[in-house]
Amino acid sequence: MSCQRFMLLLHDYFVGTLQAGDRDFVDDHAGSCRDCGALMAVAKEISCEELVEFLNLYVDGELPADRRAIFERHLAICAECLEYLRGYRETMRVAKAAHAHEPEPMPPDLLRAILAARNPSS
Amino acid sequence: MATATPSPNWTEAEEADLLARMRAGDDAAFDRFVATLGPRLWTVVRRILRDEDDAREALQDAFLSAFKALATFQSGARLSTWMHRIAVNAALMKWRSKSRRSAHETTVDDLLPAFTETGCHAEPIPTWADRPDGASIRAEMGALVREQIQKLPENVRIVLVLRDIEGLSYEDIAQRLEVTPNAAKIRVHRARQALKTLLEPKLSQIQS
């Protein structure tokens, strides 16, 4: 029951909207329950803001292994950051895909102009 | 990341033959060179330059520069890769001359995600519709995405095009825009975030 209440309160704990009594409960429970304490430790490793700020380095595979592991632990427990990552990757994909077959043809007179400019005397 | 080079499917032998004929002044070889690479490179310069007249000038400048430099072209490189680089450079030179005259740096702060004082997401994150990896997108959606990219401020749009569409490295982008590689990375990141924000209300309505 305590673990269930802890999980319910955890999001608001990090957002900063919990009343003092509930905050104390979350802190006390994390200190006494091994599993919930481990979850709390992961949640405190990095904020959502910090993860999003450096998300490009994660996506581009440029984070050192230890930093990458912290990102992955956060993504494993934070549905919002996971959804943000999904949308970020999808944005990259559709931006590229939208340019795969562009309909705009080269103006025919431009081709002739280029060839004429090569040899203006002819 | 490899540069997204337009590939005309020429074999190395065909390229060598074409190069030799152009160096000898063979008009038919020049015709083939421009007719084959021109349409692909037109697409590239149009992605960089919004204005059609600017794009026309840039592509013409690119081909004329290449014709002058044919004598110094190093065998071993691909003609199409070399020409792609020249076209990107010509388009960026035009872009920079325009942006210097007209634009100050515009930020996309309004399009970036917001956070609480404790570093949590301040607003719910919209859920994107599921699309299979690698699935092509419909023409309607492609046009919508291109339209949203055009809404980005120029200094942000240009890095998105160079990195995520043309496939240039951060080092190449930094060199061409005269910024540090780290600044180029940050600007690309902001561009993707801003585009994501612009696309969110649209992509919930259109499925691929």
**Mean per-residue pLDDT of chain A:** 88
- For B82, what's the count of Cα atoms within 13 Å in the CB-facing half-sphere? 17
Point out the residues of chain B with pLDDT beneath 70: 1-7, 100-106, 130-137, 204-208
Interface test with A, best of B31, B47, B128, B206 (most A CBs within 10 A): B128
State whether B136 and A84 contact (CB < 8 Å). no
- Unique residue bearing structure tokens 């120029």: B154
Question: If you measure CA to CA, which chain A residue comes closest to B199?
Answer: A91
pLDDT of residue A39: 84
State whether B43 and A102 contact (CB < 8 Å). yes
Determine how many CB atoms are found less than 10 A away from the CB of residue B93: 15
Distance of CA B13 to the CA centre of its chain: 29
pLDDT of residue B187: 94
State whether A96 and B164 contact (CB < 8 Å). yes
Mean pLDDT over A15-32 rounds to 87
Mean pLDDT over A56-77 rounds to 93
Share of chain A above pLDDT 70, in %: 94
Cβ-proximal residues to B166 (8 Å cutoff; 6+ apart), any chain: B3, B4, B44, B47, B88
What residue type is A88 in one-letter code?
A: Y
pLDDT of residue B5: 44
State whether B38 and A114 contact (CB < 8 Å). yes
**Min distance A17 CA to chain B CA atoms (Å):** 10
Write out chain A residues lying below 8 Å of B126, CB-based: 83, 87
**Min distance B75 CA to chain A CA atoms (Å):** 22
Q: Is the ipTM of this complex over 0.85?
A: no
State whether B192 and A102 contact (CB < 8 Å). no
How does DSSP assign B28-51, residue by residue?
HHHHHHHHHHHHHHHHHHHHH-SS
Threshold 0.95, pTM exceeds: no
pLDDT of residue A103: 56
Question: If you measure CA to CA, which chain B residue comes closest to A102?
Answer: B43
For residue B121, the SS3 value is strand
Question: Which among A47, A88, A107 has CB closest to B119?
Answer: A47
State whether B195 and A91 contact (CB < 8 Å). yes
Give A1's DSSP letter.
-
State whether B113 and A52 contact (CB < 8 Å). yes
Question: Which among A48, A107, A115 has CB closest to B119?
Answer: A48
**Token pair in block for residue B46:** 């149009």
Selected residue with higher pLDDT from B208 and A17: A17
pLDDT of residue B1: 39
State whether A94 and B127 contact (CB < 8 Å). no
**Min distance A23 CA to chain B CA atoms (Å):** 14
pLDDT of residue A106: 87
